[in-house]
């Protein structure tokens, strides 16, 4: 594993012009609101409130979501199979070395059910430039990027957004490295939004939205724990 470049404290953007409704008003699928903007202040306000953005479709307006239940990965509960442990040794992992390439890999239009449009990519690039969004890169022995993931770190929270892979287990290796880093940094909450079979196989569990928000409130205003 290769250390990330030296990090600086994230820059707080201008406050949002928008106010989100109570998450209790979200529908059964977790959709709370539509529209607004993806300015850094708006997106950070959303995460701090237990909300995240995702378009209703590749070319549709932005939806703001707060699902119940919420999927999280316990930082002491990651499941690593024997085959995955072997894969960990096959790859090299870095942090924040090529954020744009990781987002581009996640946004590949050839991927089924793609949702990361140009507006989303632009928004998270801005958050990365301000020090809030981060990437994990996985490289093979020929120094080719073969997988990775990105998300947002606020205080003791890491909110995972998306992952991709071009070689077997590469996205899982990114997850293993990220969990190790979050534990080392003293982070406390790893949000993965919705449960999927892939995430469940790695130890993700579902918790009620009320519990998620209580845990979020206890960590989100802490000093950033994402370190170099």
103-134 pLDDT, tens digit per residue, is 999 999 887 777 899 999 999 999 999 999 99
Helices and strands (H and E) in the chain: how many? 7, 10
Residues 21-32: what's their mean pLDDT?
A: 97
Nearest alpha carbon to residue 21 among 36, 8, 10: 36
Q: How far apart are CA 180 and CA 186, in angstroms?
A: 10
Residues 174-190: what's their mean pLDDT?
A: 97
For residue 104, the Cα-to-chain-centroid distance in whole angstroms is 15
pLDDT at 157: 98
Phi, psi of 38 (to 5 degrees): -115, 30
Question: Is the pLDDT at 93 greater than 70, yes or no?
Answer: yes
pLDDT at 57: 76
* 84 confidence band (pLDDT: 50, 70, 90): very high
Does the domain formed by 70-219 have CATH 3.40.630.70?
Answer: yes
pLDDT at 29: 95
Residues 199-206: what's their mean pLDDT?
A: 94
Residue tagged 């998270």 (tokens): 124
Question: For 69-82, what is each residue's pLDDT tens digit?
Answer: 999 999 999 999 99
Q: How far apart are CA 14 and CA 39, in angstroms?
A: 9
Nearest alpha carbon to residue 120 among 171, 55, 45: 55
Question: Is the pLDDT at 160 greater than 80, yes or no?
Answer: yes
Nearest alpha carbon to residue 201 among 166, 172, 170, 160: 172
Asked if 41 and 13 touch (Cβ cutoff 8 Å), the reply is yes
Asked if 161 and 151 touch (Cβ cutoff 8 Å), the reply is yes
* 150 confidence band (pLDDT: 50, 70, 90): very high
**For the whole prediction, is pTM greater than 0.85?**
yes
Q: How far apart are CA 225 and CA 228, in angstroms?
A: 10
Residues 42-49: what's their mean pLDDT?
A: 98
Cα distances (Å, whole numbers) of residue 61 to 25, 33, 54, 78, 93:
19, 10, 9, 35, 35
């Amino acid at each position: 594993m290769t250390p990330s470049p030296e990090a600086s404290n994230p820059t707080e953007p201008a406050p949002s012009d928008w106010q989100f409704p109570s998450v209790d008003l979200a529908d059964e699928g977790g959709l709370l609101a539509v529209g607004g903007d993806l300015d850094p202040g708006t997106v950070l306000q959303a995460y701090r409130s237990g909300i995240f953005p995702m378009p209703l479709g590749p070319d549709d307006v932005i939806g703001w979501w707060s699902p119940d239940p919420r999927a999280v990965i316990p930082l002491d509960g990651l499941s690593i199979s024997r085959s995955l442990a072997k894969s960990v040794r096959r790859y090299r992992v870095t942090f924040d070395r090529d954020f744009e390439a990781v987002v581009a890999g996640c946004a590949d239009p050839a991927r089924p059910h793609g949702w990361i449009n140009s507006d989303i990519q632009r928004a998270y690039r801005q958050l990365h430039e301000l020090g809030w969004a981060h990437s994990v890169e996985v490289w093979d022995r020929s120094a080719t990027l073969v997988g990775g993931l990105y998300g947002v770190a606020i205080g003791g929270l890491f909110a995972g957004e998306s992952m991709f892979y071009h070689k077997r287990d590469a996205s899982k290796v990114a997850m293993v490295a990220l969990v190790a880093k979050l534990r080392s940094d003293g982070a406390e909450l790893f949000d993965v939004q919705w449960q999927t079979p892939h995430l469940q196989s790695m130890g993700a569990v579902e918790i009620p939205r009320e519990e998620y928000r209580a845990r979020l409130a206890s960590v989100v205003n802490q000093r950033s724990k994402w370190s170099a």
